[in-house]
């Protein structure tokens, strides 16, 4: 029970967002401020949905984050198998380079990447949001570790039975590595969904903005008196993150704990 | 003659190509760009050598930005380590009863920096915000958090700590789970009280985690952008203009790609230095220090 008060304080900003989203007009600015709204009218939500393409923002984020996750998981599975289970010249070199890419912070490479996308004509497109994040050094590293722990005899037996290497990879190795794959997928999805700087730079039209960028723009345009509406939009845009967290808390925590490995 | 096995190359190529084009090449190209002046319209470049770096060295604004970044690190890293360690210890004491509390503490980790900023922005409202109301009940007149140069960085830091806290709690809980309970038990039998057990047993055993969390938090603090863009836009009067924000402004508002690239190289060097510190000392494991 020692934790009751700190936990409530920690939860308060989320609670207060929801509360504000139901407050009407001057109720928002009442002093002293109230924790709970007087009524549960949904008109702020109506107003928010009319004033901003909230659904479009969510769809954009969903497309962006899902595509990045699928690409990262797929490319990482292939590369991790090559590094963990096959022999080829320069293997060590590629492993080191892939690991080294984990140390490059995204913030310091936005300028050249922006120029590259401008050349490709990918600014303000889904490709521009997704493709630069199609591969993950961390994902390769994580699955590489996992694949190496799977006994070689298993693969030899499958090969003797006539299975190709790719078939072994997708029918036996990947299913056996599901905990790691899922934890990585959740981690990749949340990281992609929460991106800010890159989508800010790459998207130009309102139709392409992700949830994170859309909410900032929406607030800047509606400042001053429509806080109830702004908080209604925030509630709608934050809800998927919280729902995903509640649904996948275990994998979520695993993903973060494993990200500690990359340090 | 042996046939070449093409499979590894085929499997490796998507990852290698994507990382080469979108991580390795831009990292190297940033270094090149930092020695150029780039025309914002024609994108033509002129070699200027160290000029961009010299301009940074002489820019009072950039030095201030560095100072703001260091202060931001100080304001976020130390409080978040102390608070998250305390929370993790409390959660660890009764893991089953505390599942619900654990969920409440970890939830903000799933929230993006932009959304975290949106949650806090109205709490900071000088007249109707909840924070100043709470302060007023204690007889304190709260500042205009986001518009006051003295308090704006603190305000951004509080929202950041709120969001990052759960992240650190996860690592501390993992660290605590690996401390053998027999150690604490033995100390208890020897007559050590809870306070002594924390300082003499738990904390030394946890020191690698504390160190790891510390370095990761420092790196995160240097990468913080979204909450600043939403809460203060680097202001007021540059009070929250951290290094990333300065880089963003010069690249995408002032269109000085070369000058901004020099800032990117410096930021990269700072973050890389932190990573190496972690690598060197982290390997040695600080354990029984």
Q: What is the pLDDT of residues B186-212, one digit of tens each?
A: 888 988 888 888 898 889 889 888 988
Distance from the B201 Cα atom to the nearest Cα atom in chain A, whole angstroms: 22
Q: Which residues pair with B36 in a beta bridge?
A: B47
pLDDT of the residue at B261: 95
Which CATH number applies to B62-284?
Answer: 1.10.3720.10
Q: If DSSP codes are grouped into helix, strand and coil, which group holds residue B73?
A: helix
Helices A137-148 and A54-85: angle between axes, nearest 10 degrees: 40
Instruction: List residues bridging with B45 in a β-sheet.
Output: B38
Mean pLDDT of A157-183: 92
Of all residues in chain A, the percent with pLDDT exceeding 70 is: 97
Cβ distance A35 to B137 under 8 Å? no
A236 in contact with chain B, both atoms CB, cutoff 8 A? no
Contact (Cβ atoms closer than 8 angstroms) between residue A208 and residue A8: no
Question: Mean pLDDT throughout A98-118?
Answer: 93
What's the DSSP call for residue B6?
Answer: -
Our measurement of the distance from residue B82's CA atom to the centroid of its chain's CA atoms, rounded to an integer in Å, reads 15
Separation between Cα atoms, residue A69 and residue A192, nearest integer Å:
8
Task: With cut-offs at 50, 70 and 90, classify the pLDDT of residue B112.
Answer: very high
Computed over every residue of chain B, the mean pLDDT equals 90
Sequence-distant (6+) residues with CB within 8 A of B35 are B47, B48, B49, B50, B52, B258
Do residue A242 and residue B21 have CB atoms under 8 angstroms apart? no
Measure the CA–CA gap between A218 and A51, rounded to whole angstroms: 8
In angstroms, the CA A61 to CA A208 distance is 9
Percent of chain B exceeding pLDDT 90 equals 63
Predicted pLDDT at A225: 62
Residue B114 has a pLDDT of: 95
Q: Is A73 exposed, middle or buried (0-12, 13-18, 19+ CB in 10 A)?
A: buried
DSSP per-residue letters across A125-192: SHHHHHGGGS--HHHHHHHHHHHHTS-HHHHHHHHHTT--HHHHIIIIIHHHTHHHHHHHHHHHHHHH
* pLDDT-derived band at A148, boundaries 50, 70, 90: very high
Average pLDDT over residues A220-238: 87
Nearest-CA neighbor of A203 among A48, A64, A50? A64
Output the pLDDT for position B282: 63
Cβ contact, residue pair A86, B261, below 8 Å = no
Q: Which residues contact A24 (CB under 8 A, 6 or more apart)?
A: A37, A38, A39, A41, A43, A44, A228
Domain-by-domain residue ranges, chain B? 62-284
Distance separating alpha carbons of residues A147 and A154, to the nearest angstrom: 12
Q: Which residue has the higher pLDDT, B3 or B173?
A: B173
**Could you tell me the pLDDT band of residue B289, with boundaries at 50, 70 and 90?**
very low
Task: For residues A73 and A187, give the distance between their C-alpha atoms in angstroms, rounded to a whole number.
Answer: 11
**Structure token pair of residue B147:** 């518009």
Average pLDDT of span B213-224: 92
Tell me: pLDDT of A263 over 70: no
Distance CA B147, CA B91 (A): 37
Shortest alpha-carbon distance between residue A90 and chain B (Å): 11
CB within 8 Å: B8 and A88: yes
* Residue A189: per-residue pLDDT: 94
Task: Report yes or no: A142 at the B interface, CB cutoff 8 Å.
Answer: no
β-sheet bridge partners, residue B38: B45
B208 vs chain A: nearest CA distance in angstroms? 12
What integer pLDDT is reported at residue A117 of this predicted model? 95
Q: Which residue has the tokens 């299913």?
A: A175
- Pick among B52, B86, B97, B112 to test the A interface (most A CBs inside 10 A): B112
| C-alpha distances out from residue B260 to A108, A189, B37, B53, B266, Å | 9, 30, 10, 10, 10
A16/B5 CB distance under 8 A: no
- Partner-chain residue, chosen from B16, B215, B225, that has the shortest CB–CB distance to A94: B16
Region for B235 from its dihedrals, namely left if φ exceeds 0, alpha if ψ lies in -120 to 50, beta otherwise? beta
Chain A, 115-134: which have a CB under 8 Å from a chain B CB?
A: 115-116, 131-134
| pLDDT(B288) > 50 | no
Mean pLDDT confidence for B18-34 = 96
Q: Which residues contact A163 (CB under 8 A, 6 or more apart)?
A: A171, A172
Mutate to test the interface with A, among B69, B109, B118 (most CBs of A within 10 A): B118
Query: In angstroms, rounded to a whole number, what is the distance separating the alpha carbons of residues A174 and A153?
Result: 16
Cβ <8 Å between B128 and A30? yes
C-alpha distances in Å from residue B146, one per residue of A74, B61, B122, B140, B154: 43, 20, 10, 17, 9
Q: Do B251 and A190 count as a contact with CB atoms less than 8 A apart? A: no
Reported confidence tier of residue A262, pLDDT bands at 50, 70, 90: low
DSSP 3-state assignment of B45? Answer: strand
Q: Average pLDDT of A83-108?
A: 93
Tell me the pLDDT tens digit for each residue of B238-284: 999 999 999 999 999 999 999 999 999 999 999 999 888 877 776 55
Nearest CB partner across the interface for A111, out of B216, B260, B275 = B260
Peptide bond into B245 cis (omega under 30): no
Interface test with A, best of B11, B27, B36, B272 (most A CBs within 10 A): B11
Which chain B residues are within 8 Å of A33, Cβ to Cβ? Answer: 128-130, 133
User: What is the C-alpha separation between B255 and B241, in angstroms, rounded?
Assistant: 17
CB pairs under 8 A between A and B: 259
Q: How far is CA A129 from CA A50, A68, A115, A152, A182, in A?
A: 26, 9, 14, 39, 22
**Cis status, amide bond into A125, omega within 30 of 0:** no
State mean pLDDT over A26-37: 86
Question: Phi, psi at residue B135, to the nearest 5°?
Answer: -60, -40
ipTM: 0.92
Domain residue spans of chain A: 23-262
Looking at beta carbons, which residues of chain A come within 8 Å of B115? 211-212, 215, 234, 237-238, 241
The domain defined by A23-262 folds into: MetI-like fold (1.10.3720)
Reported confidence tier of residue B170, pLDDT bands at 50, 70, 90: very high
> Which chain B residues contact residue A82 at CB under 8 A?
7-9, 11-12
Per-residue confidence (pLDDT) for residue B93, from 0 to 100: 81
pLDDT in tens, A123-134: 999 999 999 999
CB–CB of A251/B142 below 8 Å?
A: no
- Phi, psi dihedrals of residue B47, rounded to the nearest 5°: -70, 125
What tokens were used for B5? 């096995």
């Amino acid at each position: 029970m020692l934790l009751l008060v700190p936990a409530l304080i920690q939860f308060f900003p989320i609670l207060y967002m929801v509360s504000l989203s139901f407050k009407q007009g001057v109720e928002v600015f009442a002093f002293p401020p109230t924790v709970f709204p007087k009524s549960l009218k949904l008109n702020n939500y109506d107003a928010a949905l009319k004033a901003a393409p909230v659904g479009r923002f969510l769809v954009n984020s969903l497309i962006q984050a899902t595509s990045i996750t699928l690409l990262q998981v797929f490319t990482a599975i292939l590369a991790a198998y090559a590094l963990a289970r096959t022999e080829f010249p320069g293997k060590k070199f590629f492993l080191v380079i892939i690991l080294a890419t984990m140390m490059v912070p995204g913030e310091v490479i936005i300028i050249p990447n922006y120029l590259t996308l401008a050349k490709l004509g990918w600014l303000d497109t889904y490709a521009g949001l997704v493709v630069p994040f199609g591969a993950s050094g961390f994902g390769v590293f994580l699955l590489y570790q996992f694949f190496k722990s799977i006994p070689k005899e298993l693969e030899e037996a499958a090969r003797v039975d006539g299975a190709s290497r790719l078939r072994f990879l997708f029918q036996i190795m990947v299913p056996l590595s599901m905990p790691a794959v899922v934890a990585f997928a959740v981690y990749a999805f949340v990281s992609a969904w929460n991106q800010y700087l890159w989508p800010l730079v790459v998207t130009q039209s309102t139709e392409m903005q992700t949830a994170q960028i859309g909410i900032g723009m929406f607030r800047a345009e509606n400042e001053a008196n429509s806080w109830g509406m702004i908080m209604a939009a925030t509630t709608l845009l934050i809800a998927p993150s919280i729902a995903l967290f509640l649904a996948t808390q275990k994998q979520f925590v695993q993903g973060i704990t494993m990200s500690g490995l990359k340090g | 003659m042996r046939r070449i096995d093409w499979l590894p190359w085929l499997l490796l190529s998507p990852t290698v190509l994507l990382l080469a084009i979108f991580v390795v090449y831009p990292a190297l190209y940033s270094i090149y760009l930092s020695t150029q002046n780039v025309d914002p319209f024609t994108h033509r470049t002129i070699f200027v050598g160290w000029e961009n770096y010299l301009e940074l060295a002489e820019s009072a604004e950039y030095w201030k930005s560095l100072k703001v970044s260091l202060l931001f690190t100080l304001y976020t890293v130390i409080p978040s380590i102390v608070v998250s360690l305390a929370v993790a210890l409390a959660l660890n004491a009764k893991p089953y009863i505390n599942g619900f509390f654990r969920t409440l503490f970890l939830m903000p980790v799933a929230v993006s920096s932009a959304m975290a900023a949106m949650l806090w922005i109205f709490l900071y409202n000088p007249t109707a915000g909840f924070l100043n109301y709470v302060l007023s009940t204690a007889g304190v007149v709260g500042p205009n958090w986001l518009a006051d140069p003295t308090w704006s960085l603190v305000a951004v830091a509080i929202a950041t700590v709120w969001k990052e806290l759960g992240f650190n709690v996860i690592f501390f809980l993992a660290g605590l789970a690996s401390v053998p309970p027999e150690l604490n038990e033995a100390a208890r039998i020897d007559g050590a009280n809870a306070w002594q057990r924390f300082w003499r047993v738990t904390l030394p055993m946890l020191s690698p985690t504390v160190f790891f969390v510390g370095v990761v938090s420092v790196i995160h603090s240097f990468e913080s952008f979204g909450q600043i863009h939403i809460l203060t836009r680097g202001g007021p009067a540059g009070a929250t203009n951290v290094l990333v924000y300065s880089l963003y402004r010069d690249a995408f508002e002032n269109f000085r790609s070369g000058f901004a690239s020099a800032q990117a190289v410096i930021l990269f060097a700072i973050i890389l230095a932190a990573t190496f510190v972690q690598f060197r000392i982290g390997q040695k494991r600080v354990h029984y220090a």
